[in-house]
Amino acid sequence: MIERPITDSGAPASEDLRFAAAVAAFSQQLKDGRYTGDFSLKDTEDLARGARGEDRFGLRAEFVQLVELAQSLRTTTASNSEPLKGGYN
C-alpha cells in the first residue's frame, strides 16, 4: 500500500463544491438529520446562497427557495406546538 499525506492547500472550496455540500446537507436534514449535527436549515441556506455563482437557468435559486420553504414549514409547525416528523433541524 502506498501512503501519501493529504495537506490542506489553503484554497477555498469551489462554488460548485460548496453548493453540492448544501444540497447534501439539505437532503440529510429532510431525512433525519443525524449526520448534520447542529448544521441548521439556515446554515444550509447561507451555504447555498454563498455558492450560487452563475445560475443561468435559475436552478440554484430554486433550490434556495426550497430550503426557505422548509424553514417556514418548520417554523409554522413549531409555532403550532406539533411534533415535527422527520429531520428538519
pLDDT by residue (tens digit) across 48-85?
999 999 999 999 999 999 999 999 998 776 666 555 55
Domain ranges, ordered by start, for the chain: 15-79
Question: For residues 51 and 84, is the Cβ–Cβ distance under 8 A?
Answer: no
What one-character DSSP code corresponds to residue 55? -
Cell for 39?
Answer: 448544521
pLDDT by residue (tens digit) across 30-42?
998 899 999 999 9
Cα–Cα distance for residue pair 49/44, rounded to 1 Å: 9
Cα–Cα distance for residue pair 29/69, rounded to 1 Å: 13
- Whole-number pLDDT of residue 6: 85
- Whole-number pLDDT of residue 22: 98
Q: Within 13 Å of residue 63, how many CA atoms lie on the same side as its CB?
A: 23
